[in-house]
């Protein structure tokens, strides 16, 4: 790695003066929080520029990169979320916003493929919607931090199919591998999904090019997405991951947390399935995930 050239005292004063002027330009910002954020951004941004001695060509390359990210972004493809994810910014923001307390279920990234308007299924229903993959029985409870069951909590779930694609990536206007359901009076839930498999984040755009340039893999560890909501309790967005997955230590978006790694128990073909479901002689898996929600901030 080449070291940055030495900076003369005169040059340092020129750069310091610019930082002071930019900070002063935000001094009269009416909203205190915005002022704090913008001035901190200026300090850290200029510190980065000065540390690496960014060239004008590199600055233009960065502008071109962000422009390309904007051009590829659509209603179903958010390249800026991908960028935030692969830089660890998404997970760090979640870590800051959801302080660990040892009781509540840990949060992780929402990812770029959550959508509203999913079909509702009954308890024990099927979220796959025809998506290809091995069936997986998922069950658990939703409670608050005092252990009280949360009746009527809404659970949104979504996942990729066995080929590593979400429904929206097929560009056919279909809904598959996603649905929502509600817990019963004892806070219990259950549904059929698919056994999660590894897949790459979309890497045909500028974020993919960045990963390739930096010798990083676009692969995500196998996972199933959840969003849990209930009145008076804080919304939780999280995943569960598959115990033993070789990618747990190299997830492309740094989303894995030890508490979210669960045992997906493989069931041989012919094993009786919950609810007497006929699986046509296929193998299947099962997993338990108990969710604990924190009180909503006052």
| Average confidence (pLDDT) over 144-173 | 93
Does residue 193 sit in helix, strand or coil? strand
Helices (H), 88-185: 89-97
The torsion defined by the Cα of 259, 261, 266 and 271, in degrees rounded to 10, comes to 40
- pLDDT tens sequence across 227-271: 999 999 999 999 999 999 999 999 999 999 999 999 999 999 999
pLDDT value of residue 99: 82
For residue 2, pLDDT over 70 is answered with: no
The structure tokens listed for 264 are 């997906």
**More confident call, 91 vs 170:** 91
27's CB contacts (< 8 A; 6+ apart) are 35
Do residues 141 and 290 lie in contact, with contact meaning Cβ atoms separated by under 8 Å?
yes
pLDDT value of residue 112: 79
Assign 1 a pLDDT band (cuts: 50, 70, 90). very low
- pTM above the 0.75 mark? yes
Do residues 100 and 106 lie in contact, with contact meaning Cβ atoms separated by under 8 Å?
yes
Using a 10 angstrom Cβ sphere, with 0-12 exposed, 13-18 middle and 19 or more buried, the burial of residue 62 is exposed
> How large is the angle between the packed helices 206-213 and 79-86, nearest 10 degrees?
20
Span of 151-155, 171-175, 180-184, 208-212 with lowest mean pLDDT = 171-175
pLDDT, mean over the chain: 94
pLDDT value of residue 77: 82
| Average confidence (pLDDT) over 64-85 | 92
- Separation of alpha carbons 150 and 294, rounded Å: 11
- pLDDT tens sequence across 196-213: 999 999 899 999 999 999
Whole-number Cα distances in Å, 15 to 6, 43, 91, 214 = 14, 12, 32, 30
pLDDT value of residue 4: 61
For residue 16, pLDDT over 90 is answered with: yes
pLDDT value of residue 286: 98
């Amino acid at each position: 790695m080449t070291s940055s050239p030495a900076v003369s005292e005169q040059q340092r004063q020129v750069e310091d003066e610019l930082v002071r002027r930019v900070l002063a330009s935000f001094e009269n910002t009416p909203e205190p929080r915005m002022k704090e954020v913008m001035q901190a951004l200026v300090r850290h941004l200029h510190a980065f520029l000065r540390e690496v001695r960014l060239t004008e060509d590199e600055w233009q390359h960065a502008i071109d990169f962000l422009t390309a990210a904007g051009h590829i972004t659509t209603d179903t493809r958010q390249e800026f979320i991908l960028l935030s994810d692969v830089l660890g910014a998404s997970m760090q923001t979640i870590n800051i916003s959801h302080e660990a307390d040892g009781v509540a279920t840990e949060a992780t990234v929402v990812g770029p493929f959550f959508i509203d308007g999913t079909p509702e299924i009954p308890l024990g229903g099927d979220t796959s919607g025809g998506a290809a993959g091995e069936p997986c029985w998922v069950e658990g409870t939703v409670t608050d931090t005092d252990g009280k069951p949360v009746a009527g909590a809404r659970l949104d779930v979504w996942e990729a199919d066995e080929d590593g694609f979400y429904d929206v990536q097929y560009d056919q206007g279909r809904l598959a591998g996603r649905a929502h359901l509600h817990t019963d009076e004892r806070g219990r839930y259950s549904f059929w999904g698919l056994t999660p498999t590894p897949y790459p984040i979309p890497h045909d755009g500028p974020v993919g090019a960045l990963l390739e340039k930096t010798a990083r893999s676009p692969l995500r560890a196998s996972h199933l997405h959840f969003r849990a909501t209930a009145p008076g309790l804080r919304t939780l967005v999280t995943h569960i991951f598959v115990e033993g997955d070789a990618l747990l230590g190299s997830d492309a978006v740094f989303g894995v947390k030890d508490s979210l790694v669960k045992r997906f128990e493989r069931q041989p073909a012919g094993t009786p399935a919950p609810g007497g479901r006929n699986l046509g002689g296929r193998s299947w898996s099962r997993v338990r995930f108990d969710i604990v929600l924190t009180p909503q901030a006052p």
